[in-house]
């Protein structure tokens, strides 16, 4: 019997098309109707009517022909003892040394490739197609033979070599992770906030229910007269900007002569479950700006917003402008969205039914749990941030190595339900911040056209949280003098890229032009090796004013040192 005989391939082309079409339409609709918000990535709220999708017969026939050709080739290769296709999940020698394992890996990759081809062949609206792709990616990632001890040749080999010790250790690891509530990405016992992460010297000089304000000790004899305030995202802890001395953006700013202040968000508990977007803008961002001014006696300050912190900073600046106040001389937006037209893969989660579901669930009070948020972001890259650790921790019984960034990534934070519900509707769903006067925050109509100041806008080329096009879009809504810079890598690695490491690249358009699209901007941009930090430091220095003697003490007047940095708030667990 040959691989291309009727006996080996019993289905006709028509049967093949019908089976796959009907099966995967049903599978997708079932997946879309699930509410995974309490245990995993929240794809959508429960719905009663699925999307209208169909497959092109021509594309399915092409897929079938390619599948049969590749499957026949795979069968012949297996008879010749060929190794499985290149994929890091199956790269270990144990896979190629075991013919059955090698074939299962190659067959899996063929099937996964075909299913992704089917997802691309769907004829429906773009959002539904993106959701199908996401669903197929999740299902195929979970179904990899490497994820199961019965099929993982490498894990089996290790179990034999260790006489079962790796399996026993894997069970211990699993029980440990069940107790802590998340899969371990690093050896979390190695790190402690304030001891070996978040160690830049400073003091908390103000606090309220929402945040602590940290002032950092100057590292230079003189500082610039305009202080510098950083607003990190409240969906994460601020010390991503202060992991280690050698990669700390906070320490870098201090070493450049800036009198530096940072917002450290409180990790919300039930007492903050009623807090709104307005509360965070008025009582946190605007308050932090005012306290920084009071302590330094500065008429204006420079400010930076990172990720959601940038969205909040932009909103706060629009509110202040509507009040006739302009306390910020320049603003930096790092991988931030003001225009939510291009939100990348996160768009698959958002539609009217999902937002209504969240509004009903927690719009009047409640908490969006940090573990749910963390799971959502992890499943955006399931092989790298989920299954890789499942295999290593549980099947191989390994302890993941210490890594400060992954420790931070696992240190999740909650969000107040009303804040979260407002954010979903007014940004991701309706994109109201870029519609002048459409939304009202703190009693003021938001109009980004009033945020008239020099701005530095940074986006990361491979960012899957804030796509580069979304980061660039801010250039089209802010009226002041703008500088846009693109860095290599992703949402975090692109930002945390100190000059001393001389890694990656960044792109600048020297003519200063900011055309409508990022693609047009990039066509005229020049690539430079190394970090974008030095370019930003030069830009910020030009907006920082003259230099004055550095302060000898923290705070001023009623704003006295409360406790040493990094403070209590950042140490609270979700």
Would you say 245 and 254 are in contact if contact means Cβ atoms under 8 Å apart?
no
Q: Can you tell me the distance from the alpha carbon of 28 to that of 15, in angstroms, rounded to the nearest whole number?
A: 20
Question: CA 374, 375, 378 angle in degrees (round to 5)?
Answer: 85
Write down how long the chain is: 574
Torsions phi, psi for 216 (to 5 deg):
-100, 145
574: closest CA among 357, 360, 409, 352? 409
In the sheet where 228-231 sits, what is the strand order? 526-529, 505-508, 482-487, 455-460, 328-334, 301-306, 228-231, 260-265, 211-216, 202-207, 563-564
Q: Can you tell me the distance from the alpha carbon of 213 to that of 265, in angstroms, rounded to the nearest whole number?
A: 9
127: closest CA among 57, 23, 51? 51
Residue 40: how many other CB atoms lie within 10 Å: 17
Torsions phi, psi for 459 (to 5 deg):
-135, 150
- The DSSP bridge pattern shows strands 122-123 and 54-55 to be antiparallel
Q: Which two tokens stand for residue 393?
A: 């921790």
Q: Which residue has the tokens 């500082």?
A: 223
Q: Which two tokens stand for residue 425?
A: 């509707």
Q: Can you tell me the distance from the alpha carbon of 43 to that of 347, in angstroms, rounded to the nearest whole number?
A: 10
Q: Which residue has the tokens 């605007």?
A: 286
Q: Can you tell me the distance from the alpha carbon of 41 to that of 32, in angstroms, rounded to the nearest whole number?
A: 12
Q: Computed over its alpha carbons, how large is the radius of gyration of the chain? A: 26
Q: Can you tell me the distance from the alpha carbon of 39 to that of 67, in angstroms, rounded to the nearest whole number?
A: 35
214: closest CA among 254, 244, 246, 255? 254
Contacts with 298 (C-beta within 8 Å, 6 or more apart), sequence order? 225, 226, 227, 292
Catalytic residue among 307, 386, 485, 540: 307
Would you say 379 and 345 are in contact if contact means Cβ atoms under 8 Å apart?
no
For 360-407, what is the HEC assignment? HHHCCCCEECHHHHHHHHHCCCHHHHHHHHHHHHHHCCCCCCCCHHHH
The distance between the two most distant Cα atoms of the chain, rounded to a whole number of Å, is: 90
Sign of torsion over alpha carbons 244, 250, 252, 254: negative
Contacts with 525 (C-beta within 8 Å, 6 or more apart), sequence order? 486, 507, 508, 509
* Catalytic site includes residue 307: yes
Q: Which residues are catalytic?
A: 307
């Amino acid at each position: 019997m040959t691989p291309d005989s009727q006996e080996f391939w019993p289905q006709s082309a028509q049967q093949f098309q019908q089976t796959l079409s009907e099966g995967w339409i049903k599978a997708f609709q079932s997946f879309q109707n699930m509410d995974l918000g309490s245990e995993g990535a929240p794809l959508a709220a429960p719905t009663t009517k699925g999307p209208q999708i169909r497959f092109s017969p021509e594309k399915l026939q092409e897929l079938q022909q390619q599948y049969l050709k590749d499957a026949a080739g795979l069968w012949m290769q297996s008879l010749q003892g060929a190794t499985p296709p290149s994929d890091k999940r199956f790269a270990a020698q144990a896979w190629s040394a075991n013919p059955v394992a090698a074939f299962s890996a190659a067959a899996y990759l063929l099937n996964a490739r075909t299913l992704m081809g089917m997802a691309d062949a769907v004829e429906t609206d773009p959002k539904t197609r993106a959701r199908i792709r996401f669903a197929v990616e999740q299902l195929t990632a979970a179904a990899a033979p490497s994820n199961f001890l019965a099929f993982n040749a490498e894990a089996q080999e290790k179990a034999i070599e260790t006489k079962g010790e790796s399996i026993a250790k894997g069970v211990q690891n699993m029980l440990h992770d069940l107790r802590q509530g998340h899969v371990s990405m690093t050896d979390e016992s190695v790190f402690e906030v304030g001891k070996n992460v978040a160690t830049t010297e400073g003091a908390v000089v103000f606090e309220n229910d929402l945040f602590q304000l940290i002032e950092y000790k100057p590292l230079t004899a003189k500082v610039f007269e305009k202080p510098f305030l950083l607003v990190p995202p409240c969906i994460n802890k601020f010390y991503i900007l202060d992991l280690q001395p050698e990669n700390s953006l906070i320490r870098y700013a201090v070493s450049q002569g800036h009198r530096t202040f940072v917002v450290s968000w409180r990790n919300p508990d039930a007492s903050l479950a009623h807090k709104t977007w307005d509360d965070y803008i008025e009582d946190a961002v605007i308050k932090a700006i005012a306290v920084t001014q009071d302590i330094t006696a500065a008429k204006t300050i420079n400010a930076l917003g990172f990720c959601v912190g940038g969205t909040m900073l932009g909103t706060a600046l629009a509110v202040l402008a509507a009040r006739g106040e302009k306390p910020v001389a320049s603003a930096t937006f790092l991988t931030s969205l003001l225009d939510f037209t291009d939100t990348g893969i996160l768009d698959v989660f958002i539609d009217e039914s999902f937002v209504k579901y969240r509004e009903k669930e927690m719009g009047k009070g409640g908490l969006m749990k940090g573990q749910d948020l963390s799971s959502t972001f992890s499943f955006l890259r399931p092989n790298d941030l989920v299954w890789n650790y499942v295999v290593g921790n549980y099947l191989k019984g390994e302890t993941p190595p210490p890594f400060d960034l992954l420790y931070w990534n696992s240190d999740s934070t909650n969000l107040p339900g009303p804040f979260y519900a407002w954010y979903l509707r007014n940004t991701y769903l309706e994109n109201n911040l870029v519609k002048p006067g459409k939304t009202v925050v703190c009693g003021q109509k938001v109009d980004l056209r009033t945020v008239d100041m020099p701005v530095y806008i940074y986006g990361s080329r491979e960012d899957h949280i804030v796509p580069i096009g979304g980061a660039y879009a801010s250039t089209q809504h802010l009226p002041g003098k703008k500088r846009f810079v693109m860095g290599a890598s992703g949402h975090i690695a692109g930002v945390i890229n100190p000059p001393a490491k001389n890694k990656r690249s960044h792109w600048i358009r020297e003519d200063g032009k900011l055309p409508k699209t990022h693609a047009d901007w990039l066509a005229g941009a020049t690539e430079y090796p190394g970090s974008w930090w030095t370019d930003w430091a030069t830009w910020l220095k030009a907006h920082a004013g003259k230099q004055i003697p550095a302060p000898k003490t923290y705070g001023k007047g009623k704003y006295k040192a409360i406790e040493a940095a990094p403070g209590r708030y950042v140490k609270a667990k979700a």
